[in-house]
A and B are shown apart, each in its own frame.
Chain A
């Protein structure tokens, strides 16, 4: 019995240690920077967003007037931006460059000018 109890104590200690290690790792990582983009006919504000290689960000996108689209063909991702809702895009760019995005829900006379880009340096 005593041997079993000792093993339990050891396992509890190991589990606690592992949890503490995981917690430490979580605490060691900075929280991703939160960016916001507002979509309205016929622009994204801002429409050019600088990012840094290796920096994790969360982009919150809100539309104020129409179910605009936000298509990021280079990432194979797109969103319908429903007014009143928030679309979240998590990014952690691995190399410098440009990530284009475009409204792909036709929204009127000016739709063709509704686009933006992330510039990664």
Chain B
């Protein structure tokens, strides 16, 4: 609550209010403090027993984000916005419906990424029509964000061209600059036998290793997971459609069954609070619905 109150004051632009009313807390509420929300893997268009509420789950998530006490400064959506289909017309229909639903988010600053379900069958063609480029950068309050596309290639590769682009972007950065990488698949070999990997992800990690403050947020595995590769932290997000088993915990990656007694269990989204000017992040996991 204190963080949100401080952020609210900051968001109101009440420097004078802040200075007079919260003396002694100044170090926590600098201009560079902010938080954003990560949503992932809504698989709009999915139908099946793992989520009999598939037509409502994304809408509930939108309502939950809109109900946050303090709105995030922006939202990231780390892929698999839609569930895959062979039909290009249906693919576009799902993308359009997804876009219409998330247009209800009150926060309009949203950064989208594709997942393999959105982009792998047509190398991102339909996705780009709705959401633009699949890899890009943006900056927010001193933090450099890099969106990496490891799904438009059906072989789960970033590819030489994009790796060269990444290398060129990083070449202009200070080695201590805070960097956040957004992507869909894990960049490291989490569980290759479940296809939870990026074939050339090690090359991206190698390019990032010289930088002291790198954090990766991704989706794909439909659950919260936290790993380190050297000093680089990797955090996966929960899904908005169905949960998957713990990495490598069973022979196959079949969805966890829907529990009628606890609908939406295992689904959710997260708040990500920038600390130390983007050199650390505090994560808060939130459910799709509090009911």
Q: Name A's B-contacting residues (CB within 8 A).
A: 67, 69, 71, 73-74, 80, 100-109, 111-113, 115, 117
Q: Are A109 and B155 in contact (CB under 8 A)?
A: no
**Besides A102-B195, A104-B192, 13 new A-B residue pairs in contact (Cβ under 8 A), listed by A number:** A80-B155, A100-B251, A101-B193, A102-B194, A103-B195, A105-B154, A105-B156, A109-B83, A109-B84, A111-B84, A111-B116, A113-B254, A115-B193
B84 near A108 with CB under 8 A, answer yes
B85/A104 in contact, CB under 8 A: no
Given contacts A109-B83, A109-B84, A115-B193, contact A104 B156 (CB under 8 A): yes
Chain B interface size, under 10 / 10 to 19 / 20 to 34 / 35 or more: 20 to 34
Whole-angstrom CA separation of A115 from B86 in the bound complex: 20
List, in ascending order, chain A residues with CB within 8 A of B134's CB: none
A113 partner, pick from B116, B199, B252, beta carbons under 8 A: B252
CB contact list, B223-273 vs A, under 8 A: 251-254
Contacts of A67 in B (CB 8 A): 154
Partner of A105, one of B84, B85, B155, B194: B155
Q: Mark B75-106, 1 if CB is under 8 A from A, else 0.
A: 00000000111100000000000000000000
Q: Report B93 CB to chain A, min CB distance, Å.
A: 15
Q: What B residues does A108 contact at CB under 8 A?
A: 84, 86, 121
**A-B contact list, 6 entries, CB within 8 Å:** A71-B193, A104-B195, A105-B155, A106-B121, A111-B116, A115-B252
Q: Decide: A73 and B192 in contact? CB cutoff 8 A.
A: yes
Per DSSP, chain A at the interface is mixed
> Which 8 residue pairs across A and B have the least CB separation, nearest first?
A73-B192, A106-B120, A100-B193, A106-B116, A106-B154, A105-B154, A109-B84, A73-B193
Q: Which residues of A contact B121 (CB under 8 A)?
A: 106, 108
Interchain nearest-CB distance for A98 vs B (Å): 8
Whether B193 and A109, one on each chain, are in contact in the complex, defined by CB atoms closer than 8 angstroms, is: no
B192 in complex: contacting residue of A71, A103, A105, CB < 8 Å: A71
A109, chain B: closest CB distance, angstroms: 5
Chain A residue nearest to B156 (CB atoms) is A104
In the complex the two chains form, what is the Cα distance from A1 to B192 in whole Å?
A: 68
Q: Which of A101, A103, A112 contacts B253 (CB 8 A)?
A: A112
Who on chain A is nearest to B116 by CB?
A: A106
Which residues of the other chain, A, contact B84 by a CB distance below 8 angstroms?
106, 108-109, 111
Residue of B nearest to A114 (CB): B195
